[in-house]
Structure 1
Amino acid sequence: MLIPGTHNSGSFAGVVAFLEDYVLNQDRSVWTQLAFGIRYLDFRIGYYNGDGFFINHDLIRVTKVIPLLKEIKKFLQLAPKEIVFLDFHRFPYPTNFTYNLHKKFIDIVYEELGIFALPSTSMEVGGGPTVNEVWKQNKTLIISYADKDTVRDNPWLWHPLSQYWGDTTKVPALKNYIQKTINERNPLGSTNPNWALMAELTPRPIDIIFRRNGLRKLAHDANVEVTKWFRDQWGKKSNIVATDYFLGNDMINVAMSINSS
C-alpha cells in the first residue's frame, strides 16, 4: 500500500518566530493531519528534567508530546477502521537517551495508546499483515520504535522503520535519489516490512547561517513534483511517502487512487 505521511509530524508550532523557517516542517496539528488523511506520523523525542517529554527537531524542543498522543487516541476512537503508523524514529536529547528513559516514555505511550497497538507478532516473514487481518484484531495502530532493546521487551512495539533521505536542496537530485532507492532497495532481512521515502528537501548548515532555503520554501519547490512522481511513476512501487507541509502536495488523493486501483 501507498501510505501518505508527514516528516517531523509534531513540528508544527511552538518555537519562536526566528526559528520557524528551519525547525517547523508542518503547519497543521497532528489531529488535522490525521483528519485530512495522513496515516504515517514521524516523531522525534527529547526529555527535559522537570518538563518531561517533548517533540524535538534535532536538539531543539518544539512542543509537549502527551497532548499529541491524546489527539491520536481520539482519532483512533472516532475512526476505528483507519490504520495509523506511528514512528518514534529518533531520540535526540539527551544524547544519552538511556534505557530507563525509554521505559519511562514507553509507559506513557502505552497508557495512552497501548489498547490500539498491533503486536509485532502479527508480522509474517517477508511482510506485514493484510488490512483485513489488522481489522480482525481490532488494533489499528502500528508503532515503530527506534530502540531495539525496548522493542525486545515490549511485543506491542515494532522494530525501527527504515527511512530513506535524499539530503539535498535540489529537486532533480531528490528525484534521482528516490528512483535509485526504489530500484536498489533490498527488503530481505528487514525486521520491519514498512519503509519510508522522505520526499522532502533538506537545508544545509550554510543555508541556515545565511537564512536561505527555509523549510517552507523547499517544500514549495518539491511538493508539486513529488505528487507527479508518485502519481505517474512510483505509486505502486512505494510504501510510506513522507513530506513537509503536506497540504502543498496531493499525496493523500494519490494514495487513495493507487490503493483502490
Structure 2
Amino acid sequence: MIQKYTHLVPLLQLILLMGSLEAGCPVYLTISLTGKTQQDAFLEINWGPNCYGPPQWVGIYSQDPTISNFQPDLRINGIFNTTGKMLTPIKLGKLRFPGGWNKQDSGDQTATQYPTGKCLPHYVASYNGTELLTVDCLKIQPNWMNQIKHVDRMQLKDTFLPGTHASGAVLGSSTKSNSILVRDYLVAQQLDVWSQLVFGIRYLDFSIGYKNMNTEKDADNFWIANENMLITPLLGVLRDVRQFVKRSAEMVVLDFSSFPIGFYKHPEIYSSLFRLLRQELGDEAYRRNVSKDENCANRNFRELLLQKRHLVILFPTQELPYPEKESNMLCPPWQRFSTSFMNISQTLDYMRLLFSRKPDSPVRNVGWIFTAVRSMEQTLNAHQLQTSKERAAVLNPKVNKWLKGPWGNNANVVAMDYFSNTNIVDLAIQVNARKAFIMANNDYINLEIFNLN
C-alpha cells in the first residue's frame, strides 16, 4: 500500500498541474497591432478558448487588484462567446522593465530572477459580482527556461520554443528607410530583439543582406533584411543577443535562415559573416561534435550549460568554403514549414497535418520550425493588399488558439510576425512545464495505482 501511495502522489500532482493550467475562463492581456508606434499601441483583453463559465465583468488595472480594493481603469460588462478578444482604449505607453532588464541597465549588477515572470503595470481581473475569479497581467519572462524544473533535461526537439519570424525587422533609429513600404509592409515586429527576449522569446529568425557601405569595418556591411530589402544593421542585434544571454543564462536558438541580398555566388561573403558571428557570439555558441555529425536538436539545455554556452546557431554550413564549413559552432538547419502562401482554412489543415504527428505527417523525430505568417505576395494574389500588421492580426490569434489544444504538446519552434498580440510565451511555458513533469515522473504514472483495494 505504501509503495502504491508513493506512486500516486506524482500522478495527483500531474492532475493538479494540468487542471491549474486550464482555468474555467482564462482572461489575459496582449498588445494590439494598432498605433503607429509601440507606445501608442492599445491593450487587448483576451478570453478563452472554451470559456464556458464567462465572468460577469472584467476590469483593467494599473496596479495589482489582489493587494487592495482598487477601482479599475476600465470595466467591461458581459462576455458571451467562448473565445474572443476586445480592443481597449488603454495605451501600452513606454516600456520600462524592472529588475535590471532594460537594455541600458548596467551589466555589472545581477538582474533579478523572476520565477513566475514579472508584471508590468497592466493587470486584468475577472469577477462574478465582487468575487474575484482570475487575475493576469502583461508580464516579462526573462528567466522562464531556468525556472521550470527538469526542462533542462528535455531535448531541444521536444521543447516548445516560442519564436519570432523576421526577428530583427523592427522600426528603429537605425532602420535603413522609414518609407511607407518599410513601415507598413516589411517591418515584422513591434518589439526590438532585446525586448522580445525579455518577454520570453527563445527562437530568433534572421534573413541577412549584404551591401558594401564603404566603411573600414566589414561588420557594417551586414544587415537584417525582409522581403528582399535591407531593414537594420546586424551588428547591434548580435550584441543585444549576447548581452541578454550573459545576463539571463537562458538558452536561445538563432536561425540564419536566408540570405536574399548580396550573397549569391559569393562564398567569401558567407565567410565574412561567419567571422563576424565567431567574433561576436563565439564564446556563447554551443560546440557540437562535428566528427559524429551531431544534430544539435538532440541536445538539451543542460548539455549547453555544461559547456557554459547559451546559444544554438543554425546556419547553412554548405554555403561556407572548407574549413569553415566544418566549424563546430554552427549547427545544420532544422526542418522548416511555413504558411506564407496559405489562407486561414489551408493553414488549419496544414497545422492538423504537421502537429498531429500521424504517419503521413512530414514532421519526424528532428528539430522543426513552424512559421505562421502570411506573405505580402499571398495577399496580392488574393487581390487584397494587407499590411504586415493586418496579416498578423488575423492569423496570430487563430494559430495561438489552435495551439492551446493537444497540438501544442507536439510543437517545437513556432515563429510569428508580431508575436505580441498573442500569449504564445505563456502557452509554451505551460506546455513545457507539463511535458517536463511527465518526463521526470514517467516511472510513477502507472494505471495500477487506481486498484488500491
TM-score w.r.t. length of structure 1: 0.90
Which residue of the partner structure matches residue 200 of structure 1?
373
* CA distance in 1: counterparts of 2:364 and 2:398, whole angstroms: 26
Greater relative contact order: 1 or 2 (C-alpha under 8 angstroms, separation 6 or more)? 1
Select 1:172's aligned residue among 326, 334, 345.
345
Unaligned runs of 5+ in 2: 1-158, 214-219, 435-453
* Number of equivalent positions: 256
* CA distance in 2: counterparts of 1:27 and 1:167, whole angstroms: 20
208-217 vs 142-151, greater mean Cα deviation: 208-217
Verify: 1:9 aligned to 2:167, yes or no: yes
Seq. identity, % = 27
Select 1:230's aligned residue among 379, 387, 403.
403
* CA distance in 1: counterparts of 2:244 and 2:381, whole angstroms: 36
Which residue of the partner structure matches residue 129 of structure 1?
299
* CA distance in 1: counterparts of 2:279 and 2:297, whole angstroms: 28
* CA distance in 2: counterparts of 1:125 and 1:146, whole angstroms: 13
Give the Å deviation of 1:125: 6.3
Give the CA RMSD over aligned residues: 2.3
Give the Å deviation of 1:181: 2.6
**CA separation of 1:146 and 1:126: change in aligned 2, threshold 3 A:** closer
**CA separation of 1:58 and 1:204: change in aligned 2, threshold 3 A:** closer
TM-score w.r.t. length of structure 2: 0.53
Select 1:252's aligned residue among 421, 425, 446.
425
5 Å-filtered alignment, 1:82-93, equals 82-93=250-261
Amino acid at match of 1:187: R
Which portions of structure 1, spanning 4 or more consecutive aligned residues, are displaced by more than 4 angstroms?
122-127, 208-211
Which residue of the partner structure matches residue 41 of structure 1?
204
208-217 vs 20-29, greater mean Cα deviation: 208-217
Verify: 1:142 aligned to 2:303, yes or no: no
88-97 vs 20-29, greater mean Cα deviation: 88-97
- Higher helix proportion, which one? 1
**CA separation of 1:30 and 1:206: change in aligned 2, threshold 3 A:** closer
140-149 vs 124-133, greater mean Cα deviation: 124-133
Amino acid at match of 2:168: G
* CA distance in 1: counterparts of 2:296 and 2:419, whole angstroms: 30
8-17 vs 144-153, greater mean Cα deviation: 144-153
**CA separation of 1:221 and 1:147: change in aligned 2, threshold 3 A:** same
* CA distance in 2: counterparts of 1:238 and 1:112, whole angstroms: 30
Verify: 1:64 aligned to 2:237, yes or no: no
* CA distance in 1: counterparts of 2:338 and 2:202, whole angstroms: 19
Partner-residue secondary structure (3-state), 1:115: coil
Amino acid at match of 1:255: A
Verify: 1:115 aligned to 2:283, yes or no: yes
Give the Å deviation of 1:195: 1.3
